[in-house]
Amino acid sequence: MLHIKMCSIIIKNSNKKIGKFMGNRTKEYRQYFLFLSPAMIILLFIYANSIVRIVWYSVIKWKSFTPLQEVSYENFYKVFTYPHFLEILKNNFIIIIVTIPVVVIFALFCAQFLYFRVFGYRIYRYLFFLPVILPNVVAAIIWSFILHEFGVVNTIFQKIGLEVLTVNWFGNPKWAIYGLILTIIWKDVGFAIILFLAKLSMVDPQLYDAAKVDGANEIQTIKFITIPQILSVIVLYIILELIGLLNFIFGYVFVMTRGGPGYSTTPLEFLTYLFAFRLHKFGMANASAVILFVITLILVLIYFNSSRKKEV
């Protein structure tokens, strides 16, 4: 009996302490919230306002510059049945499927080499990061010249007798998208390398020493040590890159190909632009933007959930 009473007193006192502790924490959170709220309100208003507007306009019949008409889901139907819509979705898919693995694998190898301080690693760091600080448009212009039918790459191939390798990158609908992808990879890989390197620098070097002793080669080191150690950063990078490839490649497309030849390099983002500014179909442009947002959200959630399961 006494034992039970003692226990209940102890538990009561503990709860009081916990309650006091939680009360203090709640007060702190309230203070944080108060200080952050002005900025949060403004940001929330701007984002929420924009998102609500886009969704609203996507369900309004709004052709050209006439006044807004009645609510209709016609815009979504027209976007989905647009003659080249599937081709355009396929372009997005190809860009994602090719770019992300190439960037991640290349960045992993480069990060590891830089981590092990290969000869000239300082210079390589700068060289890898240089494309990242260039504006997208500048990168697009540079690669437009490099990959032009009579540009640097094809000229070199011709001079060394490898005409068979020359490609009309942006004039050929099969190759144009890979020219675009090459530019994006060149531009983005530096950021991945730096991100992975930063996380790698926190990894215990003894792990690598142990692997060396056990006779592991580079690929095994990456597979069994590097990747598990920096997996969280890889996941983060892939999510960011996924969002970027779906929503932030307009500059490349506009400068390099204008979505052509035909629609072979038109992603959904560029289609939104075409609807709005070429065809003046603003309802369809907004619908296209909503579709892009939903696709991005779904892909990010799928990837996020699957990577969380892997980590667990």
Cα angle vertex 273, ends 135, 177, to 5°? 60
- Sorted by sequence, the CB contacts under 8 Å of residue 261 that are 6+ apart come out as 170, 171, 172, 173, 176
Closer by beta carbon to another protein, 90 or else 148: 148
Residues at the contact surface with another protein, assessed by CB under 8 A: 29-30, 33, 41, 44-45, 48-49, 52-53, 56-57, 60-61, 63-71, 78, 82-83, 144, 148-150, 168-173, 257-263, 274, 276-280, 282
If the CB atoms of residues 66 and 220 are measured against another protein, the closer one turns out to be 66
Shortest CB 154 distance to another protein, Å? 10
Question: Please, what is the minimum distance in Å from the beta carbon of residue 181 to another protein?
Answer: 16
CB of residue 177 to another protein, shortest distance in Å: 13
In the bound state with another protein, the residue whose beta carbon lies nearer, of 53 and 308, is 53
Which of 6, 48 has the CB closer to another protein?
Answer: 48
Q: How far is the CB of 60 from another protein (least distance, A)?
A: 6
Smallest gap from residue 42 Cβ to another protein (A):
10
Comparing CB distances to another protein, the nearer of 171 and 251 is 171
With vertex at residue 171, the alpha carbon angle to CA 137 and CA 169, rounded to the nearest 5 degrees, is 65
Minimum separation from the CB atom of position 21 to another protein (A): 18
- Closest CB to another protein among residues 193, 255: 255
